Structure 1
Amino acid sequence: MIRLRQVTKSFSAKQGNVTALENINLSIEPGEFVTIMGPSGSGKSTLLSLIGLLSSPSEGELILEGLNASQLSDRQKTDFRGQKFGFVFQFPSLVNTLNTRENVLLPKMLSGKLTEEDWNRADELLEQAGLAEKRYSRSYELSGGEQRRIALARALINDPDVILADEPTGGLDKSMGRRIMEIFREIHRQGKTVLVVTHDEEMAAYGDRLIKLNKGRIENDNGTTICGGTSGATD
């Protein structure tokens, strides 16, 4: 379970202290497919960053699988991210000197020696992404949509429990966006928890639960107006 209790996130800026998220109470159960929407500056990416342990709350608690994130060391957070989370961003950031198959395997390369099972897993993920024939291509030989699918396969190589995706269909045409979201839907069917930030209502409809943010607060959760920034079960 992912649980945020009265979480606030603030940043220092030239104009003073900026609050990106304010008093967020939110619970996400294992196996949910959640999409997150809101206008620019509403806190969508900040929320995803907090859940993925890429940043820390200014106030409140983030509980992941019963662990209070504030009590984890930097090393423990890094290990937790590597074991539990797969990240997909709008810009795939593939390594030009590696072929497609090697890009998928990059997290494994960084953690140690590759096994035959790792290579087979990469091939399975490329097959799932519809890119098996591109396994030896370089990133500059791929379309934008193909690069996004490679990045998604890379996010799955460590078999994470949770996929966190920030605008994964941004800048793509509708057809390719739908194809990306269908892959997320298939991942969800396999038992993964999926969180997708998107500005596109059609893409958001692929999820089972929709959370809307506005000015750093939860405004709406699956069509129910939220008062005081509260959503989901709280203690």
Structure 2
Amino acid sequence: MIQLADIRKTFQTGQGIVQALENINLSIGEGVFLTVMGASGSGKSTLLSLIGMLCSPTEGLMTVKGRDTGRMSDCQKTLWRREKIGFVFQFPSLVNTLNVRENVVLPKLFSGKITQADWDRADFLLDGVGLGEKLHNRSYELSGGEQRRVALARALINDPEMLLADEPTGALDEDTAIRIMQILRDINRQGKTVVMVTHDGKLAEWGNRLIRLKNGRIEYDSG
């Protein structure tokens, strides 16, 4: 599904050039649950951003389903992200003025309009993450774990082929973290590709493939 060949990523900062990733060669097949581990600053989030086409490599070739992302326009990348990828970040970033149901269908506004089918899918997804009885609650009325589950449902509203999750269980208690991981595993078992960044070795075991980054390089790949 995604191929990264000889990828290098650098950033220009006030202190000079920072090398975030170096010599990354990685193939991510459809339906895999890949967990990415590494110390702070090892390049985990940068790698996830590259996979999600939120940034571009400085050097190297990245392809998605055979398409060279370097030859894709910004508009094509935006369309790909909207239709093919769901993003879940450590902070759910819900809109406080909207209720749970409205937060989930929010990405549909980028398609121009929200249909009844979209509302029905939002209800279905919220029921799937155990929030079917809180459709009309505001985000500030939810616990941290519940807000994460709303964010998961929102990431799935466009039925993406791939879900990218950056520390989705950060700062959650163990029971709530396990609930989130169960949902991610269920999503993967439905045939969707999941790529998750985590610092927790126990949570990484929920995936079926693990890579570890060190100083911007792949130190270990379980294959």
Q: Which residue of 1 aligns with 2:130?
A: 130
| 2:107 aligned residue | 107
Residues 56-107 of structure 1 show CA distances to partners (whole Å, capped at 9, x for unaligned) of: 0000011001100000000000001001100000000000111000000000
Deviations 1:153-191 (A, max 9, x none): 000000000000000000101110010010000000100
Q: 1:208 is matched by which residue type in structure 2? A: N
Where in structure 1 do 4 or more consecutive aligned residues deviate above 4 Å?
Answer: none
Cα shift at 1:134:
0.7
The one-letter code of the counterpart of 2:103 is N
Residue identity matched to 2:59: E
Q: CA deviation at 1:110?
A: 2.9
SS of 1:76 mapped into structure 2: helix
Give structure 2 stretches of 5+ with no counterpart.
none
**Count of aligned residue pairs for this structure pair:** 223
Counterpart code for 1:104: V
* 1:51-200 equivalences in 2 (<5 Å): 51-200=51-200
TM-score (normalised: structure 1): 0.94
Matching residue's letter, 1:40: S
1:113 and 1:2 map into 2 onto residues whose CA distance is 30
CA RMSD of aligned residues (A): 0.7
Percent identical among aligned pairs is 64
1:109 Cα deviation after fit:
2.3
Q: Could you tell me which amino acid in structure 1 is paired with residue 145 of structure 2?
A: G
- Partner amino acid for 2:30? P
- Structure-2-length-normalised TM-score: 0.99
The match for 1:31 is: 31
Cα offset, 1:14, TM superposition: 2.0
Residue 200 of structure 1, CA deviation: 0.6
Give the whole-Å Cα distance in 2 for the aligned partners of 1:56 and 1:85: 16
**CA deviation profile, 1:10-62 (whole Å, cap 9, x unmatched):** 00112211100001000010000000000000000000000100000000011
Q: What corresponds to 2:219 in structure 1?
A: 219
Partner of 1:133: helix, strand, or coil?
Answer: coil
AA matched with 2:58: S
Which amino acid is the alignment partner of residue 92 of structure 1?
P
Tell me the residue number matched to 1:227. Answer: none
